[in-house]
Chain A
Amino acid sequence: MRSTWLLVSLLLAWALLASAGHAIDAERLEDPVLQQRYEHLTHELRCLVCQNETIADSNASLAADLRRELREMMKAGKSDAEIRTFLTERYGDFVLYLPPVTPRTWLLWAAPALLLLGGMVVAALVVRRRVRTARADPAALEEEPENL
């Protein structure tokens, strides 16, 4: 029990440290609304140098350049959509952590629903078969549940 608590507190401490270490981006926008939009947007854009990091989290110089570019566009009154377009025109859809729905990505987006549907179909088939077996011979189900 004691060791469980120790583990939990260690994990909590680690989580706190991890969030404190987030201050890679020291630059701030004066307008708090803009700053919020800026933080949101930098967290959904990929840094192409270290591809598993957002440009908010990356120390790469390219990420710093892109953050500067974003701040300037926001100060100039550009919308989030305009900024995303600016970046995809240069770096492609890969720069977005949320890829747009296009013919190339529909399978990606539809996959969870398709898998769920497939699972439901299989489950329905199995249940129906079991019901049928049980009706024909109620004892068979208990004897040999493996025999689907």
Chain B
Amino acid sequence: MKQSLRFLVPAVLFAALVGFFVIGLHKDPSEIRSPLIGRPAPIFSLESLGDPAVRVGTADFTGRPWLLNVWATWCGGCRQEHEALLEIARENRVPMMGLDWRDERALALQWVAQLGNPYVSVAFDPEGRTAIDWGVYGAPETFLIGADGTVLHKQIGVMTPEIWRRDFLPLLSATGEGS
């Protein structure tokens, strides 16, 4: 075999391997793209956190965009992002619903009372059934649902003002904010 080829082939293969590793290292394996993006939002109707007699759900937002924020009192990231959620609520551009996931009602009510309430309503999902329908696997997660009822975006992990401006606002402008 030609001398140059003998060294070139392993070198190229090695470079390709290194390339794969570099790409792999810069990916976050805990962020799995949701298959729900671009599909109709899963319908639900659950007890309201504040009042078990009241039902809240997807039907409350027909014809306009909305946010669904999955949270729980046991979730550290949720406390971390709470200030950002309050800020988003203050902007008053799009209503945010909370999905209180696998939680205790008393603790969740105390949380909202103490830290402030960014939600127009909070659905209570103690058994995590609605969360499974939405493909939730770790709180916090935040979905943006368009005016036509399709899921436009899913943020996995803590929401920040930067992520809000970068990922959510452009989509929100595109879907028409209609109020």
Contact = CB atoms under 8 A, between A and B. Distances in A.
Interface of A: 48-49, 51, 61-62, 65-66, 69, 88-92, 94, 129, 148
Contacts, number: 41
Given A62-B128, A62-B138, 8 more contacts: A48-B32, A61-B128, A65-B102, A69-B129, A90-B134, A91-B32, A92-B35, A94-B32
10 contacts: A48-B137, A49-B137, A49-B138, A51-B30, A62-B128, A90-B133, A90-B135, A91-B32, A92-B33, A94-B32
B34 interface: yes
Interface residues of B, number: 19
A86 B114 CA distance: 38
A51 B29 contact: yes
B121 to A, nearest CB: 23
**B contact patch SS:** loop
Contacts of A88: 35
Interface of B: 1, 29-30, 32-36, 102, 127-129, 131-135, 137-138
Nearest to A92: B35
Contacts of A91: 32, 35, 135, 137
Nearest to B136: A62
**A contact patch SS:** helix
A48 B31 CA distance: 10
A61 B102 contact: yes
B71 to A, nearest CB: 15
B132 to A, nearest CB: 6
Contact of B137 (A62, A69, A148): A62
A34 B137 CA distance: 26
B132 A66 contact: yes
Nearest to A61: B102
Nearest to B134: A90
Contact of A92 (B1, B102, B129, B135): B135
B132 A65 contact: yes
- 8 closest A-B pairs by beta carbon, nearest first, are A48-B137, A90-B135, A65-B128, A92-B35, A91-B135, A94-B32, A62-B137, A49-B137
Contacts of A66: 132
